[in-house]
Amino acid sequence: MLLIPAAGSGTRLAAGVPKAFVPLAGRSLLAHAVEGAVRSGVIDAIVIAAPSSLVEDARRIAETAAEAPAGSADDADDPDGSGAHSVPVSGSAPVSGSASVPISVVVGGADRVVSVAAALAVVPEADLVLVHDAARCLTPASVYHRVVAALAEGAAAVVPVLPMTDTVKTATDAGTVVGDLDRTALRRVQTPQGFVRDVLVAAHDLQRTDPDASATDDAGLVERLDIAVVGVPGDEAALKITHPIDLRIAELYVTGDLD
């Protein structure tokens, strides 16, 4: 089971339409995200949170994208496309990438947490739930496989992570730099993030009752439950398309000029 929060407005991308509906090499980010999820072979159902005015568009885009063929040439962990590292995310057999992946679309909320909660609320029976930003629409199958493999090994919460490359400093509100953070202890966090369903539900329940404590991702909500979050290697191709430059980099990935 995969939740795709896709209800953001894309303010920083400023492309004139909500970000998930912005074209990337001729197809929307949402289409790329759904196709990538289906191609991973480890997703058996998808719930999308969309802007209220675009629910039907999201459904049509996603159902078309879900018909994409299975197999993933970009999966270094799984070069023969056999999905050897994968396990089914909700207990049934892994799908082989076809329209058999059912798509549901719900209306998202005012922020990402609310959108994920809206999607989570309609999840039927599922032991494991992955949450994946539409904005990380080029995530390779290998990342899905690593997340699902860690869940299969018993983790309750899993996030793909990458090391920091920049030097990171703390600063005052006035802009004075006051100190270094230890870069070796820092990670950049990506999606899909994977959870035992009951853990994710409990994390969102806590958020509803104590909304003051903010977290910008689902793993952050789970950390508040004192549940260990396991990191697995992410991938630079899973970049979050945030600013116009990110869309240009993503185009290079799609056209094969950045392999």
List residues near ligand CTP by CB under 6 A: 5-13, 19-20, 49, 108-112, 115, 133-135, 240, 242
Which residue in 86, 83, 125, 110 sits closest to 211, CA to CA?
110
Residue number, 7 or 126, with CB nearest to ligand CTP = 7
| Residue from 1, 5, 8, 57 binding Mg ion (CB under 5 A) | 8
Choose the one of ligand CTP, Mg ion, none that binds residue 204, judging by a C-beta under 5 to 8 angstroms depending on kind: none
From the CB of 54, what's the least distance to Mg ion, in Å? Answer: 16
Choose the one of ligand CTP, Mg ion, none that binds residue 12, judging by a C-beta under 5 to 8 angstroms depending on kind: ligand CTP
Tokens representing 52 are: 């209220």
Residue number, 87 or 111, with CB nearest to ligand CTP = 111
Residue number, 19 or 146, with CB nearest to ligand CTP = 19
From the CB of 163, what's the least distance to Mg ion, in Å? Answer: 24
Choose the one of ligand CTP, Mg ion, none that binds residue 19, judging by a C-beta under 5 to 8 angstroms depending on kind: ligand CTP
- Which DSSP string corresponds to the chain? -EEEE-----TTT--SS-GGGSEETTEEHHHHHHHHHHHHT----EEEEE-GGGHHHHHHHHHHHTTS----TT-TT-TTS--TT---SSSSPPP-SSTTS-EEEEE--SSHHHHHHHHHTT--S-SEEEE--GGGTT--HHHHHHHHHHHHTT-SEEEEEEE--S--EEE-TT--EEEE--GGG-EEE-S-EEEEHHHHHHHHHHHHH-TTS--SSHHHHHHTTT---EEEE--GGG----SHHHHHHHHHHHTTTT-
Choose the one of Mg ion, ligand CTP, none that binds residue 242, judging by a C-beta under 5 to 8 angstroms depending on kind: ligand CTP
Residue 41 in contact with Mg ion, rule: CB under 5 A: no
Residue number, 39 or 136, with CB nearest to ligand CTP = 136
Taking CB atoms, the residue at the shortest distance from ligand CTP is 8
From the CB of 115, what's the least distance to ligand CTP, in Å? Answer: 3
From the CB of 135, what's the least distance to Mg ion, in Å? Answer: 8
Residues that bind Mg ion (CB under 5 A): 8
